[in-house]
């Protein structure tokens, strides 16, 4: 089974919502910005690059949050999650496969669970666990 490493960003809005983009092609779902880590690429750099490509904002990586895993019949996907703060630009869909961008609270994500990508579902568990321990995942 082939393993793919992905890197994605959790970007919080001022009310604490998490910015997600809606994929309209292929797997139709809501997901956090991010994508494949190229060979020899630093994962944090990949997360920043993919975020800028997908939603047109420059970010600052605040810290590593954790990782999640997802498997299909042919692939194993490992996603490294980074908390990021927007530095420049206004979020908008910049790639053809996306048609919407919006913020969701963790409870809204749970209510729409079947619409959330499996990889992003793995991050929700990381975020819920950190908040259960009193560690608010907010930009510094």
Backbone angles phi, psi at 107, to 5 degrees: -70, -35
Any domain includes 111: yes
- Strands of the sheet containing 2-11, edge to edge, are 34-36, 2-11, 75-88, 58-71
**Domain harbouring 24, CATH code:** 3.90.79.10
Total domains in the chain come to 1
The answer to whether the CB of 78 falls within 8 A of the CB of 4 is: yes
Q: Is the pLDDT of residue 12 over 60?
A: yes
Who has greater pLDDT, 140 or 47?
A: 47
Q: Is the pLDDT of residue 137 over 90?
A: no
Backbone angles phi, psi at 62, to 5 degrees: -85, -50
For residue 126, the model assigns a pLDDT of 82
Q: Is the pLDDT of residue 127 over 90?
A: no
Any domain includes 10: yes
Residue range 63-112, pLDDT digits in tens? 999 999 888 888 899 999 999 999 999 999 999 999 999 999 999 999 99
Any domain includes 139: no
For residue 135, the model assigns a pLDDT of 43
Any domain includes 137: no
Residue range 14-67, pLDDT digits in tens? 888 999 999 998 788 999 999 999 999 999 999 999 999 999 999 999 999 999
Any domain includes 138: no
Residue range of the domain that includes 9: 2-132
For residue 133, the model assigns a pLDDT of 47
Contacts of 134 (CB under 8 A, 6+ apart): none
For residue 136, the model assigns a pLDDT of 53
């Amino acid at each position: 089974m082939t393993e793919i490493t992905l890197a994605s960003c959790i970007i919080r809005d001022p009310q604490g919502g998490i910015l997600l983009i809606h994929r309209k092609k292929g797997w139709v779902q809501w997901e956090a910005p991010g994508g494949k880590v190229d060979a020899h690429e630093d994962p944090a750099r990949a997360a920043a690059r993919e975020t800028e490509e997908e939603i047109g904002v420059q970010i600052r990586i605040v810290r590593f949050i954790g990782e999640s895993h997802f498997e299909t019949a042919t692939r194993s996907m490992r996603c490294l999650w980074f908390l990021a703060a927007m530095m420049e630009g206004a979020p908008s869909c910049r790639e053809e496969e996306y048609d919407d961008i919006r913020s969701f609270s963790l409870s809204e994500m749970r209510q729409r669970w079947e619409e959330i990508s499996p990889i992003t579902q793995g991050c929700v568990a990381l975020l819920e666990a950190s908040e259960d321990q009193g560690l608010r995942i907010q930009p510094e």
